[in-house]
Amino acid sequence: MKGKLITLEGIDGSGKSTITSRLGSNPEFSEFVFTREPTTGWIGEAVNRAIHSDTDHLAELLLFTADHAEHISKLILPALESGTNVISDRYSGSRYAYQAVTLKGRFPDPMKWIRGIHEGWTVDPDMTILFDIDPKIAVERCGNRGAQTKFEKIGFLEEVRANYLQLAKEYPDRFVVIDTDRPVDIVEKDVLSAIFSLVGTGRE
């Protein structure tokens, strides 16, 4: 039986890493593979150089997409085919939401164009958990933590959030939208119940 692919998406500071780290130390998830995009491989390192510089936005998208291709062939597909469930902190949804903003004006419909270059080879998630929050609160949280990328600006993240919500509307069967402007324990409870609704629990 194939494993399930669960992706965590949301704007910077929406709380994905906090919840991923809680899931990672939960024994119910000991058999899961945890991963992320950008990856920690050499293409992921190149992506990190791009997002910390004024790299051309199309070049940046193509780097992110190359990282995704490597991620799929080396980790995602082998894990799913061996029956292992995978949780990825960011995945293709990040490109559809973020680069559709950075590439505005470069293509008539940037999100459509970006989705087009993924067609035929990407693996769509079985479930995407969207960490939804007002960018003002997220940026304030990032401020406490220290801004990590050039994307952590309220106006930009408002557009990214709108793109995510558009995707969630388009794929209601796959997206679970969780309000993360609530205490971490409550957010975690909702995330666990979404994941268990897809994969069941080890206790059944």
Binding residues for ATP: 10-17
Exactly one of 3, 13, 93, 110 binds ligand ATP (CB under 6 A); which one? Answer: 13
Contact between 195 and 178 under an 8 Å Cβ cutoff? The reply is: no
Q: Does 148 bind ligand ATP (CB under 6 A)?
A: yes
- d(Cα 12, Cα 36) in Å, to the nearest integer? 14
Write the DSSP symbol of residue 96: I
DSSP-assigned beta bridge partners for residue 89: 8, 36
How far is C-alpha 37 from the geometric centre of its chain's CA atoms?
Answer: 7
For 49, the token pair is 């150089």
Q: Does 21 bind ligand LXEULUCI (CB under 6 A)?
A: no
Q: Does 18 bind ligand ATP (CB under 6 A)?
A: yes
Partner whose footprint covers residue 165, from ligand ATP, ligand LXEULUCI, none (CB < 5 to 8 Å by kind): none
Contact between 96 and 14 under an 8 Å Cβ cutoff? The reply is: no
Minimum gap (Å) between residue 36 Cβ and ligand LXEULUCI = 7
Q: Does 17 bind ligand ATP (CB under 6 A)?
A: yes
Phi and psi torsions of 180, nearest 5°: -100, 10
Q: Does 144 bind ligand ATP (CB under 6 A)?
A: yes
Exactly one of 15, 38, 44, 125 binds ligand LXEULUCI (CB under 6 A); which one? Answer: 38
Helix (H, G, I), strand (E, B) or coil at 147: coil
Helix (H, G, I), strand (E, B) or coil at 180: coil
Binding to ligand LXEULUCI in span 45-84, by CB under 6 A:
51, 64
Contact between 199 and 4 under an 8 Å Cβ cutoff? The reply is: yes
Q: Which is nearer to ligand LXEULUCI, 90 or 141 (CB)?
A: 90
Measuring CA to CA, which residue among 2, 202, 28, 5 is closest to residue 83? 2
Total residues contacting ligand LXEULUCI (rule CB under 6 A)? Answer: 13
Contacting positions for ligand LXEULUCI (CB under 6 A): 12, 37-38, 51, 64, 90, 94-95, 98-99, 148-149, 151
Contacting positions for ligand ATP (CB under 6 A): 10, 12-18, 141-142, 144-145, 148, 180, 183-184, 187
